Amino acid sequence: MKKVLPNNKTINYTLDEDQIIKNNSINVEYNIKRIKKERRYTIILVICFTVLFFIIGLSIFNNIDSLNMSVEHIDNLTIKYDVDDKGVKNTISIYDDKEYSYNFYITNNANSYNRIYIYLRTDDDLIKLDNCSDKIIDYSLIDYEINGKKGNIMDSLVDDKYIILVDELTAHEQKSYELKIKLNGVGHYHSIIKVSEVK
């Protein structure tokens, strides 16, 4: 190859094959390093966005879940009740002989085991509001089932409380409960699900 200089002189030179290979090798090596570097940044960004979306999703899920729960704190206990369009589902109002189900969750916040009892308290305010004191069903006609344990409301009466279950929770344990109530006759039944520690 020839290169023309300003004074019209020319210089003949040839490209060295080894030099060409060396230059190409350097360029390829540089490009590989650049690609690896960019790929590393891409992986890091993907991981960061994945973690971010997971945290946001978890937060949204918890907020939605909390909207469907009513939380009550009693001593070392936290009780969460389901909520529907009729209100908090720890209030029992039954007017027919269908079976009704109520779900709730109890957490022991203490650092040691806790003994609890779950009981039903007659809802006198709702009976007065409903003006149905003359329609209240005989409690001996009310059957219940809670987490597999079956019984009759009248048989559970202890010191003015209808205690339907005595249970134990280990430190920081959470348990779920399902209570089913059925009237075996015609009448009204109004009560509130309550939880207390055994003192």
pLDDT score of 52 more than 90: no
pLDDT score of 141 more than 90: yes
pLDDT for residue 134: 93
Structure-model confidence comparison of residues 97 and 89, the more confident one: 97
pLDDT score of 46 more than 70: yes
Asked if residue 147 lies in contact with residue 165, where contact means CB atoms within 8 angstroms, the answer is yes
- Phi first, then psi, for residue 96 (nearest 5°) are -140, -175
Q: Is 127 helix (H, G, I), strand (E, B) or coil?
A: helix
- Domain map (residue ranges) of the chain: 1-67, 70-197
Rounded to whole angstroms, the Cα distance separating 195 from 72 reads: 10
pLDDT score of 180 more than 90: yes
The CATH architecture one would assign to domain 70-197 is: Sandwich (2.60)
pLDDT for residue 76: 93
pLDDT for residue 23: 54
pLDDT for residue 99: 92
pLDDT for residue 63: 44
pLDDT for residue 45: 75
Across the range 39-55, mean pLDDT stands at: 72
Across the range 136-155, mean pLDDT stands at: 92
Q: What one-character-per-residue DSSP string does 2-41 give?
A: EEE-TTS-EEE----HHHHHHHHHHHHHHHHHHHHHHHHH
pLDDT score of 107 more than 90: yes
- Per residue in 55-93, pLDDT (tens digit) is 655 544 444 444 466 888 889 999 998 876 555 578 898
Asked if residue 92 lies in contact with residue 189, where contact means CB atoms within 8 angstroms, the answer is yes
